[in-house]
Structure 1
Amino acid sequence: MNESKLECPSMPYEDSRILLVVCYSIVFALGFPANCFTTWLTFVQIRRKNVLAIYIFGLSLCELMYLSTLPLWTTYVQNKHKWEMGSVVCKLTGYIFFCNIYISILLLCCISIDRYVAVVYALESKGVRHQRTAIFITFILFSAVLVTHCPVFILPDGEQTSNRTTCFETLPLNLQLAYFNLARFLVGFAIPCIILIFTNYKIFQSTETSSSLGKRQKAKVKYLAMAIITIFLICFAPYHLVLLIRSINFLLHQNGSCAFELRIYSTSAAFLCLSTANSIADPIIYVLASEHVRKDFYESMTKWRYQSSINASLKLKNSKESQEVAQTLENQNLP
């Protein structure tokens, strides 16, 4: 594929530096422990044969993989978008970033489809939904996304040379990246978005007409479905719309796209922050919204507090005994 020979002038990196650094730092500080705890809670649910927990467990692992790279991105941004950790680390970090976005999106679709089948076809799905099926689907999904993004390792965007110091920030685009971004928008966002909206709408519609659910249960299902769609659109729609607009603009104005890239860069950086915030939103929605997981959470917190109180009592007791022994020895040494 032909690559763009044109290099854009200095980009307004400083305009978004504080925003990106603060965003990455907050997401890492909140998201990493939240997803660690989510992983543990969903593992408990997997042992109890919960099918939905398989997808949530995979989602948490995916988020942890991405969150582990945020300190590198933070250092990169703080260093005025100069990557100083080598081409291999750049390509691996970029690979994890791209894979995380689309594994997360597809797993969210799997979660919504599983909820759709369980709610809309409650009787028919009783003998159909199995953990083995969920594990197989998750494995295929991970494998497909990982293989699909292997070209990241041969793209020039990750090469560190004397003329290139950025990491996966090709400005302007080239034909290869423009077509790749169009495919990402269609297959990685538009189709999953349609599936997500359809399944959650059907879930809401089914619960509204159900006579076995009370008003409180119906409201819970309604707000959860709305939250899923809203957070999906807030986190992923702006980022993919910018990809689409940048790609179309490049294809229409290949020799004059730098002016547009300069105007849209700060907006693109803000939308990138929104996609990163998904790492915090997922545990809140899909774990704490579950009655069983909340119960496990409260039980674990109760046990933790109980154990902490026991440890504190033992430390206090040992401290008092040590003081008594010291006092006794001191008295024995007195003339």
Structure 2
Amino acid sequence: HLTMNVTSTTISPPNHTHSCEPPYDEENPLPLVVLYSTVLTLGLPANLITVFLTVLEVCQKNVLGIYLFSLSVCDLMYLGTLPLWAIYINMGHRWEWGSLSCKLMGYVFFNNMYISIFLMCCVSADRFVAVIYAVESRGLRRMRHAVITTVVIVVVIAVGHVPVFSMTEGDQATGLNYARFFIGFFIPLCILIVTNLAIIAKVQTSTGLKPQTKIKIRNLAFAVILFFLVCFTPYHVILLLRAINFHFSNGKCDFERRIYTPYTISLGLSTINSAISPVFYVLSSNSVHK
């Protein structure tokens, strides 16, 4: 896949002179092309509608609107690259637009994934503060804080992935894979689980909410966790396995070739995030939902 080659995530020892070539000749491009086309068809209108709704929320000084607006803009940027990805896959993994643009597409992919992940954490954390610390949250949840948090996330992740343009294979790529797994996936997953389970526990003990409302909040919290696990766990587990394999492969490509099909599937699952996330996270805001 594009991000497997051009952004140097194919891991081989420094003294290995060539990358492990994935088994492209064994791949049927149709499923990925259909997937990317479907995600674009569903995700584009969903995110455009979400941008419109969240702009209204921002105008009404809704803190959650900042995170939801940023999440949708981020997804729209990634969706804009999907036509090129689909053409690339359909042409048998031949990139016709130059090396720089190829790396740029990988850069957009990685930025979208991790900005989305951390914005999801912000949404869950904001809901956690609003539910658990209902009174105190009036002073904690401010528009300025949300804007600063979002800007910091975007800048840190964007700068952190600049090495994509100049990275050499080997230890550097392996280190980036470890960082993606632990910082970009495992820690956010823990935050999502803790905050959403705390919300569920608080809501269940509340005497002021109707049973139907409690069920709705509980189902949404579980859905957010499940959505995150399905979209991002396979990809990051494979990243971790590839990084570990680097230390024991002795330059052999057997593992890289075996893992290619699961890797492709995991990339497809992560792509679905851009189409589904607006649905889940708009439902996090009662006013947007209405």
Q: TM-score, normalised by structure 2?
A: 0.92
**2:57 matched to which residue of 1?**
45
- CA distance in 2 between counterparts of 1:3 and 1:120 reads 54
Pick the aligned partner of 2:94 from 82, 94, 97.
Answer: 82
Gaps of 5+ in 1: 157-172, 296-335
Does residue 120 in structure 1 map to residue 132 in structure 2? yes
- Whether contact under 8 Å (1:91, 1:152) holds in the other structure is yes
Does residue 31 in structure 1 map to residue 27 in structure 2? no
**1:266 matched to which residue of 2?**
261
Structure 1 residue 155: deviation in Å?
2.4
Does residue 59 in structure 1 map to residue 71 in structure 2? yes
**1:174 matched to which residue of 2?**
170
CA 1:227–1:269 in structure 2 vs 1: closer, same or farther (change >3 Å)? same
- Whether contact under 8 Å (1:116, 1:199) holds in the other structure is yes
Q: Percent identity?
A: 47
CA 1:186–1:48 in structure 2 vs 1: closer, same or farther (change >3 Å)? same
**1:250 matched to which residue of 2?**
246
**1:198 matched to which residue of 2?**
194
**2:9 matched to which residue of 1?**
none
- Whether contact under 8 Å (1:14, 1:80) holds in the other structure is no
* Structure 2 residue identity aligned to 1:233: L
**1:279 matched to which residue of 2?**
274
Provide the alpha-carbon RMSD of the alignment: 1.5
- The Cα offsets for residues 4-56 of structure 1, whole Å up to 9 and x where unpaired, read as 32443561354241121111110011101110110011001111111101000
Q: Which has the larger radius of gyration?
A: 1
Q: TM-score, normalised by structure 1?
A: 0.80
- Whether contact under 8 Å (1:12, 1:266) holds in the other structure is no
Structure 1 residue 289: deviation in Å?
5.0
Structure 1 residue 291: deviation in Å?
2.9
- CA distance in 1 between counterparts of 2:156 and 2:172 reads 20
Does residue 209 in structure 1 map to residue 209 in structure 2? no
- Whether contact under 8 Å (2:66, 2:147) holds in the other structure is yes
- Whether contact under 8 Å (1:38, 1:287) holds in the other structure is yes
Higher relative contact order (CA 8 A, sep 6+): 2
- CA distance in 1 between counterparts of 2:250 and 2:135 reads 56
- The Cα offsets for residues 208-260 of structure 1, whole Å up to 9 and x where unpaired, read as 1111111011111100000100000000011000111111112111322x111
Q: How many residues align?
A: 278
- The Cα offsets for residues 46-94 of structure 1, whole Å up to 9 and x where unpaired, read as 1111110100000000000100001111111111111110022112111
- CA distance in 2 between counterparts of 1:83 and 1:152 reads 17
- Whether contact under 8 Å (1:4, 1:175) holds in the other structure is no
